[in-house]
């Protein structure tokens, strides 16, 4: 599985975790694509990301407009932002690559103009 596919898997896993209020480790273990081997990269952008979720939510909220909060965002948007912020913090790739990957996911899974929002938020972080 390449990094883009891993990011997509991480995004859908975090989405499930947020939506179903289910532990991310359990979501990953129940995923047939993974089996019982979680790559270090997938571990970082899912399990480490949720371990730092409160700090990430605070950082995301600090750049959102006053009438918006992390909790107001859709679950997919939340997942994309958390993964990207985690990657930026852990420096898993160049910042622009991380933002570009987040935009690609937003274009595929979100409303038409959501990628602009994702790009704008990540640029400010």
Query: What was the pLDDT predicted at 37?
Result: 80
Q: What band does 1 get if pLDDT is binned at 50, 70 and 90?
A: confident
Q: Which domains does the chain have, with CATH numbers?
A: 3-124 (1.10.940.10)
CA-based R_g, the chain, Å: 13
Question: What are the distances in angstroms from CA 24 to CA 18, 42, 49, 79?
Answer: 9, 11, 10, 12
**Digit-coded pLDDT (tens) for 32-67:** 777 778 899 999 999 999 999 999 999 999 999 988
**Digit-coded pLDDT (tens) for 14-24:** 999 999 999 99
């Amino acid at each position: 599985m390449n990094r883009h596919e891993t990011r997509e898997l991480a995004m859908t896993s975090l989405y499930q975790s947020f939506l179903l209020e289910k532990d991310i480790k359990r979501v990953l273990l129940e995923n047939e694509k993974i089996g019982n081997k979680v790559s270090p990269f997938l571990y970082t952008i899912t399990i480490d990301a949720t371990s730092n979720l409160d700090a990430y939510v605070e950082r995301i909220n600090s750049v959102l407009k006053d009438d918006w909060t992390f909790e107001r965002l859709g679950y997919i948007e939340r997942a994309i932002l958390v993964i990207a912020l985690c990657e930026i913090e852990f420096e898993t790739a160049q910042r622009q690559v991380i933002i570009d990957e987040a935009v690609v996911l937003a274009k595929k899974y979100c409303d038409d103009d959501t990628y602009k929002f994702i790009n704008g938020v990540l640029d400010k972080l």
